Amino acid sequence: MLLREQGCSKQMMRLKISKRRAKSRGFSRTFTERASNEVKKHAEFIENLELIIIDKIYAGMKIPEISKFAGKEIEKNNFKLFHSLGHGVGLDVHELPIINNDSKEEFTENMVFTIEPGIYKANKFGIRSEDTCLIKNGKAEIL
């Protein structure tokens, strides 16, 4: 199993995406074909949570509000959010604001950022799903 992270650049702006894959017989395919039921269950949870999080984000929302929501949802599944939920994207692929509980920022119109919830079980697995988003017409959308 591996985490595939891809990025691109246009007119000096950046975009990235991370998705999980399994490598088998010289080519990559979606890992769920060979993953354990435990990993499948947690991967589905994280991918669904990412979409729920993105759907909740709106212009004017304080960043800690969504980070705390994500942390609580992850804790309901007996995990912790060990890293920030995301970050800004622009001229560099990792920019401010950091999307975490300590941020003093809020989401604003035309803001570009990542949402990347993840869960990790020592010596077993790590699952993270990431998309780059844009606040457009007051709501977050995946680029």
* pLDDT in the model for residue 117: 95
- What's the Cα-to-Cα distance from 101 to each of 38, 97, 98, 117, rounded to whole Å? 29, 11, 9, 14
Q: CA–CA separation, 53 vs 142, rounded Å?
A: 11
* pLDDT of 70: 98
d(CA 137, CA 143): 14
Would you write out the chain's pLDDT as a tens digit for each of its 143 residues?
445 555 555 555 555 555 554 433 333 344 445 667 888 888 889 999 999 999 999 999 999 999 999 999 999 999 988 899 999 998 777 788 999 999 999 999 999 999 999 999 888 888 888 888 999 999 999 98
Residue whose entry in the numeric block shows the structure tokens 């509980």: 101
Where are the alpha helices (H) located in 24-136, listed in sequence order?
37-56, 63-75
Inter-CA distances, 56 with 70, 86, 116, 138, Å: 11, 15, 14, 11
pLDDT at 16: 58
Report the pLDDT value the prediction gives residue 90, as an integer from 0 to 100: 81
Per-residue pLDDT at 95: 85
Of 92, 63, 80, 88, the closest CA to residue 118 belongs to 80
- pLDDT for position 19: 56
Distances (CA, A) of 78 to 6, 43, 49: 29, 14, 14
pLDDT at 51: 95
The range of the structural domain enclosing residue 105 comes to 2-142
**Confidence (pLDDT) at 40:** 82
Q: What is the CATH number of the domain that holds 41?
A: 3.90.230.10
Structural domain total, the chain: 1
